[in-house]
Amino acid sequence: MKIALITGISKGLGEGLAKILLERNYRVTGLGRNDNPNLNGGHYRFVSLDLKKPDKIKTIKPLLQEMANEQPESILLISNAGVHGACGAIGELDEDKVLETFNVNLLSPVLLSNVFTDVFAPLSLHKRILNVSSAAANSPIPGGSTYCQTKAGVEILTRVMFEEQKNKPYPIEVIAIRPGRLDTPMQAELRHLPNLPMGPILRKAYEDGALKDPLLTAREIVEKFVDSPIESGTTYTLE
């Protein structure tokens, strides 16, 4: 039995990842605020967790212990949930949006990795974490500083965790993935924001048909980073 936990399955890339893993007979647990009626069947379950509230993350520890007791062949955590966090230039930031962006995009992968490692580190099964990042980790986007900061944080989290795990008897593999620009609700929201300086670039990408289908990207992620050997600690960029 192979188990996957995925955050943010209600739409976008997370929905695609859940569909592809279910197709491959994974037992998938979706974690998030909203479930997804397109995901169902005996191998799927939803656990309600609002990642804006990082103090709630530790409540999933009993669920992880239950999974460990089932002695699966492998366990996979995909920290996918995210918000675009485009809340203005520094000096004009909406503080609630800043907190939400840090909580969902950075604190939730940190705390989920923490509880996941606490439960699974001693076990000899195959363990992997995929952290969904973005090219924004390395690109200064005016008006989107919090998004850039959180994605840079996710990438350094990945590298530090690799260093901590690499000499363990049963290391957890961990990578970050920059998936490229996807045709998801997040992109639609961004291109409709009135004052985002990169708005025209995003609108042009959409009009030119340059956004990628999230289901195809999900399939590519599963083929390259779930079903295949990976270089732990690496940030991978999809074209």
Report how many residues bind ligand NAP under the rule CB under 6 A: 29
Which residues inside 96-115 make contact with ligand NAP, applying CB under 6 A? 104
- Which residues contact residue 225 at a Cβ distance below 8 angstroms, ignoring those fewer than 6 apart? 130, 175, 177, 236
Indicate which single residue of 75, 174, 182, 196 sits in contact with ligand NAP (rule: CB under 6 A).
182
DSSP assignment of 72-123, as one string?
Answer: -SEEEEEE---------STTS--HHHHHHHIIIIIIHHHHHHHHHHHHHTTS
> Is residue 137 a contact point for ligand NAP (CB under 6 A)?
no
Determine if 81 is a binding residue for ligand NAP (CB under 6 A). Answer: yes
Q: Reduced to 3 states, what is the DSSP secondary structure of residue 131?
A: strand
33 is an interface residue for ligand NAP by CB under 6 A: yes
User: Is 153 an interacting residue with respect to ligand NAP (CB under 6 A)?
Assistant: no
Q: Is 202 a binder of ligand NAP (CB under 6 A)? A: no
Our finding on whether 56 is near ligand NAP (CB under 6 A) is: no
* CA 211 to the chain's CA centroid: 19
What are the strands, taking DSSP E only, across the chain?
Answer: 2-7, 27-32, 44-48, 74-79, 126-132, 173-178, 235-237
Closest CB to ligand NAP among residues 12, 88:
12
* CB 223 to ligand NAP: min, Å: 17
132 binds ligand NAP (CB under 6 A): yes
Instruction: Report the Cα 21 to chain-centroid distance in Å.
Output: 15
Is residue 85 within the footprint of ligand NAP (CB under 6 A)?
A: no
191 touches ligand NAP (CB under 6 A): no
Q: 129 - beta bridge partners?
A: 77, 174
Q: What is the CA radius of gyration of the chain?
A: 17
The least CB distance from residue 168 to ligand NAP, in Å, is 27
Cβ neighbours of residue 86 closer than 8 Å, sequence gap 6 or more: 141, 143, 144, 147, 190, 193, 196
Q: Select from 5, 112, 172, 186 the one that contacts ligand NAP (CB under 6 A).
A: 186
Other beta carbons within 10 angstroms of residue 131's beta carbon come to 25
Among the listed ranges 3-11, 54-62, 68-76, 229-237, the one in contact with ligand NAP (CB under 6 A) is: 3-11
Cβ 203 vs Cβ 196: under 8 Å: no
Closest contact distance (angstroms) between CB of 100 and ligand NAP is 7
Interface residue with ligand NAP, options 2, 3, 5, 14 (CB under 6 A) = 14
Contacts with ligand NAP by CB under 6 A lie at: 7-14, 32-34, 50-52, 80-83, 104, 132, 134, 179, 181-182, 184-187, 214
